Amino acid sequence: MHDEHPLAQDLGFLLSRASGVFAKTASEALSPLGLRVRSYSVLAFASEVETGVTQRRLAELMGLDPSQVVALVDELEGNGLVRRVTDPNDRRSKLVSATSEGTRVRSEGGRRIAEAQSGIMADVKPETQVELNALLRQLVFPDE
Amino acid sequence: MHDEHPLAQDLGFLLSRASGVFAKTASEALSPLGLRVRSYSVLAFASEVETGVTQRRLAELMGLDPSQVVALVDELEGNGLVRRVTDPNDRRSKLVSATSEGTRVRSEGGRRIAEAQSGIMADVKPETQVELNALLRQLVFPDE
DNA sequence: TAACATTGATTGATATCGTCAATTATTGAC
DNA sequence: GTCAATAATTGACGATATCAATCAATGTTA
């Protein structure tokens, strides 16, 4: 085992690079749908719950500044993929939910991404993939 | 085990978020040195080999467009942390190498990052960390 | 050797992303 | 009823990603 790279041990560096590999693949897979990776993520969260998700929660889930969520939802709403309604229980919040068209596009996007990325982890044992998934989830969402 | 998040299974999403956690930590750790994460990475690679690294190679290692490397090296050179000399064997290439000051700053940066990130993986078994490292390396540098 | 394609570095343009400060509307607490 | 806290929004600015075009040097080939 050689480690000529000084950053080969640097987990942050490796995560960033690995993330880039996936992001690039996903980006190309989504491009025909007119979606970016970010937009797709928002759409996916908005598709999950019938009643919708607040933008505050979206920012939290995605690790974004709330102001970025505004722009993302603006765009998706403009394309008719999500709707944004004031939460009747708290009129400060807006509930973002997918339209039927949004739900359809989200599914299509999910399929495309899965297909495009299927090769990346092909050499990795399934149980290792499961372990990796659990590890990252614990790291990203420690409270859940 | 509940997975309320639609993207909880999405490895690309998790990698991106995890990468963000590390990047933010590293960024704060490096800020007192006047370095960004990217600059530090370039400096680290430039510190590794006495003779220096070509910018082409830097772009490849870091997954960047060559034009981004130009700006990064410009900045580091301006701060006296690296030097850039024409490769005598191929006058198209520039060899980037760390100055003595650059080597010192790189060490200091490495220490700061390690300290700042020590807590993040504290709950993860050492052998799992090793496995994760190997997995990501294989994914990012499949040919090495 | 002269013509041509390729490569490495560079510049510039454009779109996206990250971070912060400030504002407005609404809610909660005292 | 006043005041602090919260959710969304806008605007600004620097950082990042991507791409096209240029220039100098090298490699290829007729």
Q: What is the pLDDT of residue B1?
A: 45
Banded model confidence at residue A2, pLDDT cuts 50, 70, 90: very low
What residues approach strand C to within 7 A at the CB? A 36-38, 64-65, 67-68, 90-92; B 20, 24, 27, 54-56, 59, 66-67, 69-71, 73-74, 84, 90, 92-94
Question: Looking at beta carbons, which residues of chain A come within 8 Å of B113?
Answer: 10, 12
Strand B94-98 with B82-86, pairing: antiparallel
Mean pLDDT rounded to a whole number for chain B:
90
What is the tens place of the pLDDT at every residue in A9-63?
689 999 999 999 999 999 999 999 999 999 999 999 999 999 999 999 999 999 9
Tell me B22's DSSP state. H
Residue from B4, B22, B5, B3 nearest B132 by CA = B22
Identify the band that residue B144 occupies on the pLDDT scale cut at 50, 70 and 90.
low
Closest CA–CA distance from residue B34 to any residue of chain A (Å): 19
Long-range contacts of A84-92 (CB under 8 A, 24+ apart): A85/A52, A87/A54
Ordered strands of the B53-54 beta sheet: B53-54, B94-98, B82-86
The residues spanned by each domain of chain B are 26-140
The per-residue pLDDT for range A51-83, each reduced to its tens digit, is: 999 999 999 999 999 999 999 999 999 999 999
- For the record, the structure tokens of A117 come out as 């990325």
pLDDT digits 0-9 by tens, B14-37: 999 999 999 999 999 999 999 999
Task: Give the Cα separation of B8 and A139 in Å (integer).
Answer: 12
For residue A107, the chain B residue with the least C-alpha distance is B6
Among A2-16, A85-99, B97-111, whose mean pLDDT is lowest?
A2-16
pLDDT of the residue at B5: 65
The token pair at A93 is 């919040």
> Which CATH class name applies to B26-140?
mainly alpha
Residue B62 makes CB contacts below 8 A (sequence gap 6+) with A17, B38, B41, B42, B45, B69
**What would the 3-class secondary structure string for A28-50 be?**
HHHHHHCCCHHHHHHHHHHHHCC
Q: How far is CA A68 from CA A30, A82, A105, B53, B80, in A?
A: 20, 16, 21, 37, 36
Considering only CB atoms, B22 lies closest to which of A11, A113, A135, namely A11
pLDDT at position B4: 55
Q: Does residue A59 or residue B142 have the better pLDDT?
A: A59
Q: How far is the CA of B50 from the CAs of A35, B53, B83, B98, B99, in angstroms? A: 45, 9, 12, 8, 10
pLDDT in tens, A92-115: 999 999 999 999 999 999 999 999
pLDDT the model gives residue B10: 84
* pLDDT for res A1: 44
Q: Is the pLDDT of residue B120 over 80?
A: yes
- What pLDDT band is residue A5 in, cutting at 50, 70 and 90? low
pLDDT of residue B8: 63
For residue B8, give both structure tokens: 């909880």
How much is the pLDDT for B118? 85
User: Which residues of A in 111-140 have their CB below 7 Å from strand D's atoms?
Assistant: none
* Positive or negative torsion for Cα A106, A108, A109, A113: positive
Which two structure tokens, joined as six digits, stand for B52? 């220096």
Q: What is the pLDDT of residues B41-71, one digit of tens each?
A: 999 999 999 999 999 999 999 999 999 999 9
CATH 1.10.10.10, domain A11-140, yes or no: yes
- Dist CA A114 CA A116 (whole Å): 6
